[in-house]
Amino acid sequence: MIKGIAVSRGIARGPAYVLEDRNGLPVLRRRIRKDGVASELARFETALIEAENNLRAMQKSIRKRLGKREADIFQAHLMLLRDPAFLKQVTHRCSAQQINIEAAVAEAVDHLCGAFARIGDALFRERAADVRDIGRRLLAILLKLLPDEAMEVPPGTILVAAELFPSMTARMSLKSVRGIVTELGGKASHASILMRSLGVPGVIGVKDAVTRIHNGDLLIADGLAGTVYVNPPPAVRREYDRLLASFEAHRQSLKSLVDLPAVTKDGVAVKLCANIGKLGDVEAAFLFNADGVGLYRTEFGFLVRDQFPTEEEQCQTYSTVAERMHPREVVIRVLDIGSDKMLSYFPQPEEANPSLGLRGTRLLLKNPGVLKAQLRAILRVSAAHPVAVLFPTISSVEEILKAKALVGAAGKELRAEGVSFNPNIRIGAMIEVPSAAVLAGRIAAAVDFLSIGTNDLIQYLLSADRASQEMAEYYQPLHPAVLQTIKSVVDAARAAGKDVTVCGEMAGNPACTELLLGFGVRSLSVTPGELLETKNLIRSATIAHAGQLAARVLEMGTCREIEQCVARFAAPRSVLATTSTKLPAQA
């Protein structure tokens, strides 16, 4: 048994599929047929030629700008590309082991770097760094040459990875994966959000998972207890067979809620929407009868590409989503990149602290052409479907006014071109940084609605990186400062007569749902996989009880007090949130 952190509720059982992380590049190790070796080696030769051309172009550019001495650094890389030992390692691994060329390159690089490290000489350590660099260059080229289906994870497996970055997951087909296990990440990291969006059990913080778990190992990933069993004994398997049967019965019982409204026991209606990122999420939101899309994260459509999608391409994508959900509203968040979400074709200056740098609306206002194309696409869709525009990472009234001015400019262009759009399209601001929370009333007066992004709000309020395991104990949704801030934003929005939606992970957290209702929240947006669970919690609660719980909690000063109070007085939780089991220990 390996301990980790549970981030997506449920239990998964199946064979492991290990995704090796080579300097941030996803390398899937695949067996190939013997008659496929020649084509893999041909791809390797093509990649070598492209890498050589790239290096010579860089060498020429640097010689012109900096001089011959600096340019000669790349001569060592050019020589390493054709180093006989390196080529022999790659060729032998591909042909003898019958593995794909990406895996052969990655393993050859690891082998040579390990050999250099054992020598201990400083010169050889530098040579190891050069080998890693050319390995990364070759892998980047090879991965771009792969067809889309090569990034598919075999159905029925549990994906095991060091870390999942948005740029990786956006290119991977994970529709049939049973569960996900990672070494790194936090409860509110994008990888954790992905797991909940997929509705699959997830465990993060599993130390050395990539080296301790091998392809084909039978895994049980317990997304309730935060444990992973590797090739467990029969007694453990039998216990989990029983639990899986209970959970399946629970899920089946929730299906009866699909056509029922999200209404509390004392008759208060709650708007329950879905958070989506990919087109596949839209179908799940529709099937689970969401009241609309409360948060459409458009960046995933940019991450899978090698260049910016055109206005026409964006318009077609947003139309597909809006048409499926019609007549329910789709809130489209404009491109939210920066920090850990970067586009390879949109390089930004390196920042010492990206989370506090150019991201979200700040970045878009610096690049109005990128924003204008997206706004035009959204406005065009608004002519036929109810859509709204949402601006992320707003920190001041000035920012939202500038953003609104660009919406107006985009509309003016379309009007001049004779293109129809809704001139009264709703415009919203995300409240996810402390300054926006303090100014929530003034920002609310400038927009049509607010959306509280709890993931970043918690991170910035508590100075706790949402993606860091080390900071997990400080990243506390039930921290009194977080709860008081959310309550103040809700009050400010209501005073301004504006709608407010909670669209962060707190909205689908069973420990928080009733509290949010008690704070006056009447609109929640959760991942499609959490819609029925959240609806069940809403239908089990009363606003009267939720208000009493909220009043008690707001008087408390510590996380522990609040957690104990919620555990004692909150409405009954779901089976998935409360079930625990005692299992035999396994080393």
**Residues tagged active-site:** 190, 503
- In sequence order, what are the residues at sequence separation of 6 or more whose Cβ sits closer than 8 angstroms to the Cβ of residue 411? 379, 421, 423
Report how far residue 464's alpha carbon sits from residue 470's, in angstroms, rounded to the nearest whole number.
Answer: 9
Return the closest-CA partner of residue 450 out of 277, 281, 294, 263.
294
Return the closest-CA partner of residue 338 out of 432, 230, 471.
432
* Host H or E run for residue 271: strand 271-276
Does residue 534 contact residue 502 with C-beta atoms inside 8 Å?
A: no
Return the closest-CA partner of residue 228 out of 208, 242, 245.
208
3-state helix, strand, coil in the chain (%, to 5): 50, 15, 35
- In sequence order, what are the residues at sequence separation of 6 or more whose Cβ sits closer than 8 angstroms to the Cβ of residue 472? 5, 186, 187, 205
- In sequence order, what are the residues at sequence separation of 6 or more whose Cβ sits closer than 8 angstroms to the Cβ of residue 286? 324, 325
Report how far residue 54's alpha carbon sits from residue 49's, in angstroms, rounded to the nearest whole number.
Answer: 9
Angle at 314 between CA 308 and CA 317, to 5 degrees: 130
What are the tokens at 101?
Answer: 């060329």
Return the closest-CA partner of residue 219 out of 161, 163, 150, 171.
161
| Phi, psi torsion values for 469, nearest 5 degrees | -65, -40
DSSP state of 154: P
Report how far residue 406's alpha carbon sits from residue 396's, in angstroms, rounded to the nearest whole number.
Answer: 16
Token look-up 């899309």 returns 293
| Phi, psi torsion values for 453, nearest 5 degrees | -90, 90
Report how far residue 370's alpha carbon sits from residue 387's, in angstroms, rounded to the nearest whole number.
Answer: 20
Burial class (CB in 10 A: 0-12, 13-18, 19+), 347: exposed
Q: 443: alpha, beta or left, given left = phi > 0 and alpha = psi -120 to 50?
A: alpha
> What is the chain's Cα-based Rg?
26
The β-bridge partners of 275 are 295
Question: What is the number of alpha carbons within 13 Å of residue 217 lying toward its C-beta?
Answer: 22
Q: Do you find a cis peptide bond into 166, omega within 30 degrees of 0?
A: no
Does residue 282 contact residue 325 with C-beta atoms inside 8 Å?
A: yes
Token look-up 């220990």 returns 585
Q: How many CB atoms lie within 10 A of CB 221?
A: 30
